[in-house]
Amino acid sequence: MSTIDTDEFRTLLEQERERLTKAVKFLHDENPGSITEELGDIIEAGIDYNHLGDTASATFDRELDEGIGERAQQTIGEIEAALKRIEDGTYGFCEVDREPIPVERLRAIPWARTCIKHS
């Protein structure tokens, strides 16, 4: 049985989903050619930007905006899946070895499917 407080993570996931949904909407509707620093921070907080390296916080061009929108959309999908795992009672366990995922990792990435070792 999981010892984590799923209510805490349900709240975190729902908040993050709302933020990302707004960000995606902003990219699509309001300002497709550029991204504000504030918005960048919001999206960056939810997305693994390893593939962008040091350019992640620099200037975004339109093509990159679209990439960010896609990544945000993917993360929203991950969040939806995590919320479903909370409903199913399988939330917080590594998909590879079924061991509990450390709570610190879940606080950093609430939609994590695996432990750090298997990520």
Which token pair is 25? 């909407």
Q: Which of residues 25-84 bind Zn ion (CB under 5 A)?
A: none
The size of the interface with Zn ion (CB under 5 A), counted in residues, is 5
Which token pair is 29? 């509707």
Residue type, 86: I
* Euclidean distance between CA atoms 2 and 23, whole angstroms: 32
Q: Among 5, 8, 14, 97, which residue sits at the site for Zn ion (rule: CB under 5 A)?
A: 97
Assess 118 for contact with Zn ion (CB under 5 A): yes
* Residue (13 or 94) nearer to Zn ion, CB: 94
* Euclidean distance between CA atoms 117 and 96, whole angstroms: 10
Show the CA angle centred on residue 85, arms to residues 39 and 46, nearest 5°: 15
Assess 101 for contact with Zn ion (CB under 5 A): no
Selected range binding Zn ion among 8-16, 33-41, 77-85, 87-95, rule: CB under 5 A: 87-95
Q: Which residues bind Zn ion (CB under 5 A)?
A: 94, 96-97, 115, 118
